């Protein structure tokens, strides 16, 4: 799996060992990567999500792991792993790839997550089967996440209770489904 580079970030797709280390032994992960990583983003919710990712990665060919893992957002000028973003798997039967993300509070509201989601969306659209990137069940009170999604061109396609779901189609003739 290759690293994605943006102006201010390196996005590193974590392998199964690195994901496990992030949960169980972040000091060893930091030693392996050569820089510190945020401990504050490893909540119970993230632990469950990583557990699901590890299970899914064990069941698919390694060539598809980039679609199932978290990508570590490394802030270049700080040499710090500040956040995680990734897809929940390969595009589904409709061509939708669902994205999720989180970043250390100290690095919020600085445009890093917008930059990361833009880079991962562009990466996803290199796969012909990916016709749209979606973000499901964004809590209405999570205004910061909604701002990120709006900045990357996503729009609300579904509203349910306290949640909004967003999507951005691939540009061009393959984006007829909306």
Taking only the tens place, the pLDDT of each residue in 60-77 is 999 999 999 999 999 999
Low-confidence ranges of the chain (pLDDT < 50): 173-178
- Over its C-alpha atoms, the chain yields an Rg (Å, rounded) of 16
What's the pLDDT score for residue 171?
Answer: 86
Q: The sheet that has 163-169: what strands, in order across it? A: 4-5, 9-13, 71-75, 80-87, 96-103, 132-139, 163-169, 155-160
- pTM across the whole model: 0.94
% of the chain at pLDDT higher than 90: 94
Taking the CA atoms of residue 128, residue 145, residue 50 and residue 89 in that order, the dihedral angle to the nearest 10 degrees is -20
What's the pLDDT score for residue 1?
Answer: 65
Tell me how crowded residue 156 is: count the other CB atoms within 10 A of its CB: 14
What's the pLDDT score for residue 177?
Answer: 45
CATH class of 4-175: alpha beta
pLDDT digits (tens, 9 = 90+) for 109-124: 999 999 999 999 999 9
β-partners of residue 133 are: 97, 168
């Amino acid at each position: 799996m290759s690293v994605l580079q943006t102006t201010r970030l390196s996005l590193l797709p974590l392998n199964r060992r690195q994901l496990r280390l992030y949960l169980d032994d972040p000091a060893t992960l930091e030693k392996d990567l050569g820089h510190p990583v945020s401990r504050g983003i490893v909540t119970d919710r993230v632990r469950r999500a990583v557990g699901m990712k590890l299970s899914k990665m064990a069941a698919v060919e390694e060539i598809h792991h980039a679609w199932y893992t978290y990508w570590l957002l490394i802030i270049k000028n700080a040499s710090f792993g500040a956040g995680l973003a990734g897809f929940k798997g390969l595009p589904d039967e409709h061509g939708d790839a669902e994205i999720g993300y989180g970043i250390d509070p100290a690095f919020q509201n600085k445009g890093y997550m917008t930059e990361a989601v833009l880079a991962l969306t562009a990466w996803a659209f290199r796969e012909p089967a990916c016709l749209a990137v979606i973000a499901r069940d964004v809590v209405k009170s999570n205004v910061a996440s909604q701002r990120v999604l709006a900045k990357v061109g996503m729009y609300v396609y579904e509203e349910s209770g306290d949640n909004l779901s967003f999507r951005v189609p691939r540009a061009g003739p393959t984006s007829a489904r909306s």
